[in-house]
Structure 1
């Protein structure tokens, strides 16, 4: 069983890498970051869909607590584990390496791997994946719009605000709920540590996002008050 999971993870890493290479070939004039964000958007969308399909009881999305992974949850975890491994390596080749993003990836890899190894905590970790990825397509939309020439436009500002709202609702409303259920259930220590670490990283990212939104709104207000030249 473990060998089969490892084989699936390897196939997943190869598949995500292939998707990145194909995107680079399809958009040769776009940046390295553009291609990686296209792949990341595909993963985020797929992760949310698979996570939603694996929920057994929507009245308690993180239930049953400390449970063994169902086949659908196993599929979801394998897809996201392989993506996180791909993206951690791929991001290291970019010029802009983010320490907090690398920590997020490492924590996620350890958490997903722990669920597959211990056979417990699947519902909580899949719920955490849903909470984490629901805002990701909007995160990448912001940067993709800039590459298409929409930097400092109303469309880009709308994408910024939409991302900030969805991130806040997901990570700061759904996140604490998932963290609490993970910590209160009889999960292995490494899974509890993963849940708490991801929530702390989310809080740090929220601080950065609020600063970004404040800067964008202040900049927009300042530009609108400048009298046009005759």
Structure 2
């Protein structure tokens, strides 16, 4: 545990150092901009490592939950644990996130700590990290597009659609299958299964928010399209009347 604690402290220090360097070299963009750059970097790094763990190194999380942690799994979890601690502290200090996101961070930290302390079920934790972070670059891209004034564009639409589709598929569909395999398997401990249920419930809380966002956006687009259609029809009708007026005057 001593080596794990040292590793977590080193990773936390690394994320803080990266954020500080970004603030010093990119200070004109503001604290949140630079924090989101750190978040983007962690998301890409975490997805790459956990994808290698799941698809190359193994074992397959759907068939071998509850197995002993491997060195690479431990490395991936320590890196993400350091990041989550950093981001949790940043969010609390700047008060930028609501209770749901803070609960997500808290559960992620406790889940990784639990897996590291037990020395098993690392493959499930890495699978959860992969599913959670694979949509992260899209979420950050959406925020950066807003800041640059380019969100109301085809790129913004593509980012939103891809984010929703990927979130539903990875967190709800694949996550549901993963939870089912976890619950029916005799190997994972009961507390790990409880953590899995809690994380899946939280995914549904996020899903409800995303559903509301998608509904509001679709309604707004429909109203805008309807207004444009009515305006075009009215302009076309006025145009025809204007063309006929000289004829009727004759």
Q: Paired residues, what number?
A: 228
Query: 2:65 maps to which residue?
Result: 65
Alignment of 1:48-197 (within 5 A): 48-55=47-54, 56-57=57-58, 60-185=60-185, 186-197=187-198
Q: CA separation in 1, counterparts of 2:157 and 2:26?
A: 25
Q: Is 2:14 the partner of 1:15?
A: yes
Secondary structure of the 2:127 match is: helix
Aligned counterparts of 2:2 and 2:63: Cα–Cα separation in 1: 27
Residue number in structure 2 paired with 1:219: 220
Instruction: Compute the displacement of 1:10 (Å).
Output: 0.3
Shift of 1:23: 2.0
Between the aligned partners of 2:216 and 2:28, the Cα distance in structure 1 is 30
The structure that has the greater radius of gyration is 2
Out of 181-190 and 196-205, give the one that drifted further: 181-190
Note if 1:44 corresponds to 2:43: yes
Deviations 1:163-214 (A, max 9, x none): 1111111101111122222333332333222211111111111111121122
| Cα distance in 1 for residues equivalent to 2:103 and 2:134 | 19
Partners of 1:139 and 1:37 in 2: CA distance: 10
Specify the SS of the correspondent of 1:29.
helix
Shift of 1:150: 1.4
Offset at residue 70 of structure 1 (A): 0.6
**Shift in Å at residue 57 of structure 1?**
4.2
Kept after mapping to 2: 8 A contact 1:63/1:123: no
Which structure 1 residue ranges, 5 or more long, are not aligned? none
1:31 aligns with 2:64: no
Q: CA deviation at 1:63?
A: 4.3
- Hey, what's the Cα distance between the residues in 2 that align with 1:139 and 1:74? 26
Aligned pairs (5 A) from 1:189-208: 189-208=190-209
| Structure 1 residue 79 displacement after superposition | 0.6
Unmatched 5+ residue regions in structure 2?
A: 236-250
Runs of 4+ displaced beyond 6 Å: none
Q: TM-score, normalised by structure 2?
A: 0.84
Q: Which moved more, 1:19-28 or 1:102-111?
A: 19-28
Using the size of structure 1 for normalisation, the TM-score is: 0.91
Contact 1:139/1:163 (<8 A) preserved: yes
Structure with more of its chain in helix, by fraction: 2
